[in-house]
Amino acid sequence: PEDTPGWLAAGSGVEKRQGCGPGFKTAEKNHTGLARDPSLRMKVLENVLLVMKNRRDEIIDWLIHESGSTRIKAQVEWELAYHITERSVHYPLEAEGRIVPSIFPGQSSYVYREPVGVIGIISPWNVPLHLTMRSLAPALALGNTAVLKPASNTPVTGGLLCGKIFEEAGLPAGVLHVIVGAGNVIGDYFVEHPIPSFISFTGSSAVGREIGIKAMSGARIKRVALELGGNSPFVVLDDADIDLAVSSAIAGKFFHNGQICMSTNRIIADKKIHDELVEKLVKAAQELKAGDPSLPDTDIGPIIDKTQVLAIEEKIKNAIAGGADLLLGGKTSGQIIPPHILDHVHPSSSIVKEEIFGPVLPIITARDETEALRLANDTDYGLSSVVFTRNMERGLHFARKIRAGMTHINGSSVNDQVNAPFGGEKNSGTGRFNGHWIMDEFTRLHWITYQSTAL
């Protein structure tokens, strides 16, 4: 249609696959001008902040409406997206190179930090605005152009809204292109297209693995940043502050219904404090309110879709069949699953081996600290993790032995800060977001020498 914005690929099926090509070509064409103008990039990002402030209520309402976010989660997500954009304002002046010594007389040796070029961004549905802006804002700030494909569940908050915000902020035409469509329709074409030099993907480990394979095996090898699934252990040692552990576990498990890659996926409780911990966890979870996500006092809202609801219910059923005790539960209402707590879950149960992505908290008992560490590392994932102890030295010693990208002592597994490296190990992905670490992802180093005298 005539009123379709230039940054949006319209149509469906083959039309959208074909839309990837013009989108990437336009982004490639406009890359050089953006890369040479850091002041423009800073100004656009400053304007993005103004647009986000002016549209705050509208953005929050869209997050509630489209992704099922509770009001408090939507407010937190807006703040996260705002702060990552605020941090990105400064990247244009931080992309520093180096002058390095040369072993040859008369030779000058320079290392330039340059944009990688065109970046393809594939963002998820669970925290769509923030996890899009986490890649998009620094990518553009560092002089790259971008083609964005949001999750098909959240095309507005993960894509169209971002395109509109940047358009209002004065981003030059052709710098950002948004392609909306199902991953199984355009995903392969998007990743395998020869123009993008980098693919930034946030989503499941299974899809991330395929993207990594395609990026490395295509006609042109691409770099990737993959932020994938998690199986966060929440270890409570025998000297832990139980009340603090309970409040952190409740927040880490049930925020956004457990639909966060960092969500606490399993409690590992030392047998000495198990009973007290479980009793207080059940009591705290009983106080959570499930219902309409738009209401300010709602803690548990709807799961993203019916397919995910059925998958969560199947995990609960299998865990109980395997000997787990259901301490807290309830009937599903539409797509709203009330908080569930399962005790005496076997370490080999699928509910503790796989990412749950729902409001279900399984508890495993550990004989001692040694077994707790073994259980914490008994996973193919390695994103976030937690250990509770009153002894800081003990906590640091334990944390250093956990194979994960992030470990929080006496805190929540859900923790994302703009100045700290965010990323995982093993099947939780590769690369790091946030802070100066994202500059290593979204730029390339170019070594240039100049010989002024004969060798």
pLDDT digits over 397-438, tens only?
999 999 999 999 999 999 999 999 999 999 999 999 999 999
- How many domains is the chain built from? 2
- Does residue 236 share a domain with residue 199? no
Question: Which of 66, 261, 369, 441 is flagged as catalytic?
Answer: 261
| pTM of the predicted protein model | 0.94
Report pLDDT digits (tens) over 60-107. 999 999 999 999 999 999 999 999 999 999 999 999 999 999 999 999
> Measured between alpha carbons, how far is 120 from 179 in angstroms, rounded to an integer?
10
Considering the domain architecture, whether residues 161 and 15 belong to the same structural domain is answered as: yes
- Identify the active-site residue in 28, 77, 192, 227: 227
Q: Distance (Å, rounded) from C-alpha 122 to C-alpha 147?
A: 9
- Indicate whether 296 and 372 sit together in one domain: yes
Residue 420 lies in a domain: no
Q: Which two tokens stand for residue 451?
A: 């010989």
pLDDT digits (tens, 9 = 90+) for 341-363: 999 999 999 999 999 999 999 99
Does 5 have pLDDT greater than 70? Answer: no
Are 143 and 112 found together in one domain? yes
| Averaged pLDDT for residues 273-280 | 99
Report whether pLDDT(15) > 50.
no
Residue 435 has a CB neighbour count (10 Å cut-off) of 15
**Looking at the structure, do residues 31 and 113 belong to the same domain, yes or no?**
yes
More confident residue, 358 or 10: 358
β-pair partners for 384: none
Average pLDDT score over residue span 190-210: 96
Is 116 in the same domain as 264?
no
Q: Hey, which residues does 98 pair with through a beta bridge? A: 111
Quote the pLDDT of residue 6: 56
Residue 236 structural domain? 232-409
Condensed to tens digits (0 to 9), the pLDDT of residues 224-259 reads 999 999 999 999 999 999 999 999 999 999 999 999
pLDDT tens-digit map of 383-403? 999 999 999 999 999 999 999
Q: Taking the CB of residue 426, how many other CB atoms lie within 10 A of it?
A: 18
Per the domain annotation, does 418 fall within a domain?
Answer: no
238 and 365 co-located in one domain: yes
Q: Are residues 48 and 100 in the same domain?
A: yes
Q: Please tell me whether residues 27 and 145 are part of one structural domain.
A: yes
Mean of all residue pLDDT scores within the chain: 95
Q: What is the pLDDT of residue 53?
A: 98
In a domain, 3, yes or no: no
What's the distance, Cα to Cα, between the start and end of the chain in Å? 63
User: 414 in a domain, yes or no?
Assistant: no
- Note the pLDDT of residue 9: 58
State how far the alpha carbon of 49 is from the alpha carbons of 40, 76, 89, 207, in Å: 14, 16, 9, 32
227 is a catalytic site residue = yes
Distance CA 322, CA 344 (A): 10
- How far is residue 143's CA from residue 60's CA, in Å, rounded to a whole number? 29
- In a shared domain, residues 256 and 368: yes
Residues 214 and 361 in one domain: no
Give the pLDDT of residue 19: 58
Q: 187: domain CATH number?
A: 3.40.605.10
> Given a cut of 70, is residue 16 above it in pLDDT?
no
Catalytic residue check, 261: yes
**82 occurs within a structural domain:** yes
Tokens 């095309």 correspond to: 155
| pLDDT the model gives residue 181 | 86
d(CA 127, CA 202): 10
User: Residue 213: its pLDDT value, please?
Assistant: 96
What are residue 386's DSSP bridge partners? 234, 408
Lowest average pLDDT, out of 11-20, 28-37, 168-177, 222-231, goes to 11-20
The pLDDT score that the predictor gives to residue 271 is: 98
- Whether 421 is in a domain gets the answer no
Given a cut of 90, whether residue 52 has pLDDT beyond it is: yes
Confidence of residue 182 (pLDDT cuts 50, 70, 90): confident
pLDDT at 17: 55
The whole-number average pLDDT for the span 137-144 is 98
Q: How far is CA 401 from the centre of its chain?
A: 24
Residues 380 and 442 occupy one common structural domain: no
| Confidence tier at 155 by pLDDT (50, 70, 90) | very high
pLDDT at 219: 87
